[in-house]
């Protein structure tokens, strides 16, 4: 059962009486009315200024690109050709000119990581060819491919049947071939590109040849 205190009953009777009395009205002084109008104008102006400044792009990115890996700079100060290479695998076959790794292959060099089913390292050419379920990533991009060729001296890389996602910003798609010149310029053949968040295909472009210049 709902119980009302005496003070609450008194308040209810007063408000009821005020509502029934035709002479009861509230008049807002002209100065106060003008002040409320001015405050509304100030509020509208503040909203217009906020809109003119634009949205917080960093907050927007964190909300809409939550599944995009962050961009991370390579902490290693050494040039790529001076960074040591570490390769792990279940099986290893060797000859004077090349080494072949198989099963759960994982190569690391600085902030770069390459995994695949099979990897062949050509010693004299300092070239790596990886095949089968290839996954390459560093602090700038993640790529999945059927196969990949990488020149360890120049950092030039070619990937075939590739899906890619840039880190810390928009940019994703696929391509029959992706060529990275090692200097932040990508050439994609028969490729698609979209700046939409992952799993959002509101718009994309397709091209026979597509260039992405990170600089």
pLDDT at residue 47, as a whole number:
63
The pTM is what? 0.64
Distance of alpha carbon 143 from alpha carbon 137, whole angstroms: 6
Q: Which contiguous run of DSSP H or E holds residue 60? A: helix 57-64
Q: What is the mean pLDDT of the chain?
A: 78
Both tokens of 52, joined, read 């003119």
Share of the chain above pLDDT 90, in %: 37
pLDDT at residue 177, as a whole number:
95
Distance of alpha carbon 108 from alpha carbon 100, whole angstroms: 16
Is there a contact between 195 and 171 (Cβ–Cβ < 8 Å)? Answer: yes
The answer on pLDDT for 80 being more than 90 is no
Radius of gyration of the chain (CA): 32
Q: Average pLDDT of 62-73?
A: 80
The answer on pLDDT for 18 being more than 70 is no
Higher local confidence (pLDDT), 131 or 59: 131
Alpha-carbon torsion (118, 123, 124, 128), positive or negative: positive
pLDDT tens-digit map of 156-184: 889 999 999 988 888 999 999 999 888 87
Q: Which of 117, 170, 166 is nearest to 142 (CA)?
A: 166
pLDDT at residue 155, as a whole number:
81
Distance of alpha carbon 177 from alpha carbon 186, whole angstroms: 10
């Amino acid at each position: 059962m709902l119980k009302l205190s005496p003070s609450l009953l008194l308040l209810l009777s007063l408000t009821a009486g005020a509502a029934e009395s035709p002479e009861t009205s509230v008049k807002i002084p002209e100065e106060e009315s003008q002040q409320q109008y001015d405050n509304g104008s100030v509020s509208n102006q503040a909203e217009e200024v906020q809109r003119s400044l634009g949205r917080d792009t960093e907050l927007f990115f964190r909300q809409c690109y939550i599944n995009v890996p962050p961009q991370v700079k390579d902490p290693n100060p050494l040039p790529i050709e001076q960074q040591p290479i570490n390769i792990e695998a279940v099986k290893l076959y060797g000859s004077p000119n090349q080494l072949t790794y198989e099963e759960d292959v994982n190569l690391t060099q600085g902030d770069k990581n390459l995994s695949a089913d099979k990897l062949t390292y050509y010693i004299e050419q300092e070239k790596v060819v990886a095949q089968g379920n290839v996954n390459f990533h560093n602090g700038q991009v993640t790529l999945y491919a059927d196969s990949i060729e990488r020149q360890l001296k120049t950092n030039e890389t070619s990937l075939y049947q590739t899906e890619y996602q840039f880190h810390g910003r928009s940019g994703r798609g696929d391509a029959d071939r992706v060529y990275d010149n090692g200097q932040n310029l990508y050439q994609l053949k028969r490729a698609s590109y979209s700046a939409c968040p992952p799993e959002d295909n509101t718009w994309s472009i397709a091209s026979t040849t597509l260039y992405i210049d990170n600089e």
